[in-house]
Amino acid sequence: MTSLFKGRRSQRQAPTAHPTNSSKTGDTDSENSSHHPHSTTSSSSQNPPRKSKTPELKRSSTSNLLSTLSLTRELTEHDKQLQLEYQQVESSQPSTFQLVTVHQALLLAEDSYEKHKDKLSSLQKELEKLSEAIDVEKELIQHLKKKYRVARGAYREVHDEKDGLNKRQETIFDRMDDSHPYKIKIMKRQKRKKEEEERYDKETQEERKREEAREKEEHARRCRKEMARIQREKRLQTDFNAEKAAYKGGKRVNS
């Protein structure tokens, strides 16, 4: 027994040929083991040898790789489907021509709408002013009507008096001798007055005719202007309807 123990001790002390830290530690271990001859056996019995985990790691890595590939394939298919849907939506987008067409139609319609809206607003303002003016005129008419009645009464009174005096003058004038110088003077004055009245009436009639001609020309000019405006709006509406029909037709073709 002593020889065997010494043999083991000599085997454990063999590495002392290299004086390193590890060798020192080995010496210490050997010394400890020399004091505890059963320590090695008990240690090996308490810690059984570990099995290699390499096959399990390989199986786990393979499974993770397959899962990653499957997920990547699903994501790729999902992206392809989204790309296809995106391209389908993009192909349904209106063309540049359609966008330009509807934009021009919008500008024309907006321009016409704004013009007529402004015209309506202007007419409404004029109507309000006219309504106020009408109320003022109604009140003024009631006041002027009274003054007119008074003036008309005074006019009739003066003219009635004048007519009476004229009749008296005519009676006296007829009784005068035709060769009387004063009667001749009166007759010349009456003749000039009659000629002036006739000339005035003639000028008044001519001026009235010229005024009527100007009014007719102005009315005709306004009518021509209004007809031109109506024709222009009809052309714009026709162009708008044609562009709208073309836009709808193009949209049906693209769809």
Please give the Cα distance from 161 to 164 (Å, whole number): 5
Non-local (6+) Cβ contacts of 26 within 8 A are 12, 15, 16
Q: If you average pLDDT over every residue of the chain, what do you get?
A: 77
Please give the average per-residue pLDDT across 160-185, as a whole number.
Answer: 90
Is 156 a residue whose pLDDT tops 90? yes
pLDDT at position 114: 93
Please give the Cα distance from 186 to 177 (Å, whole number): 12
Start-to-end Cα distance in the chain: 104
Contacts 24+ apart (CB under 8 A), 142-150: none
Please give the average per-residue pLDDT across 134-155, as a whole number.
Answer: 92
Please give the Cα distance from 17 to 27 (Å, whole number): 11
Please give the Cα distance from 184 to 255 (Å, whole number): 106
pLDDT at position 6: 45
pTM for the full model? Answer: 0.32
Specify the range with the lowest mean pLDDT, choosing from 7-16, 99-108, 145-154.
7-16
Please give the Cα distance from 219 to 225 (Å, whole number): 10
